[in-house]
């Protein structure tokens, strides 16, 4: 994991919004369909990109584009409220300050 990217764990059903103050992206791994909309809405509220993987054969319940990765598919929500973010050389998404002020490090 790159040193300049911080990961924070939170509950999208009861988010601590301060955690997302400087977030560039919300990423969820193996996200079940019943949480797609809540995570998507949270990302829109805090003006962050929303990227996720599913539990295998499940389909996203929000509009997405896809990227095939070794071992799976990455979904990127196509509806978001803010500025575009830059892709890194390794396919990640970054923009601005990635430090987090609060929350549990994953």
- Note whether 13 and 41 are within 8 A (CB): no
3 within some domain: no
72 within some domain: yes
Whole-number Å distance between alpha carbons of 58 and 88: 27
Q: What is the largest CA-CA distance in the chain?
A: 36
pLDDT at 80: 54
pLDDT of 104 strictly over 90? no
75 within some domain: yes
pLDDT at 17: 95
2 within some domain: no
Structural domain total, the chain = 1
pLDDT in tens, 6-49: 888 999 999 999 999 989 999 999 999 999 999 999 999 999 99
85 within some domain: yes
pLDDT in tens, 52-95: 999 878 999 999 999 999 988 999 999 654 434 444 444 444 33
Residue 36 CA: distances (Å) to CA of 18, 76, 78, 87, 96? 21, 11, 13, 23, 25
pLDDT at 98: 36
Mean pLDDT for the chain overall? 79
CA within 13 Å, CB half, 64: 21
């Amino acid at each position: 994991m790159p040193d300049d990217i911080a990961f924070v764990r939170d509950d999208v059903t009861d988010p601590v919004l301060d955690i997302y103050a400087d977030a560039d992206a919300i990423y969820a791994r193996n996200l079940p369909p019943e949480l797609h909309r809540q995570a998507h809405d949270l990302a829109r509220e805090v003006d962050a990109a929303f990227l996720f993987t599913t539990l295998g054969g499940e389909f996203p319940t929000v509009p997405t584009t896809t990227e095939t990765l070794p071992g799976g598919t990455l979904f990127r929500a196509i509806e978001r409220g803010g500025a575009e973010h830059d892709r890194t050389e390794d396919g990640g998404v970054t923009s601005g300050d990635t430090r987090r002020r609060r929350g549990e490090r994953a």
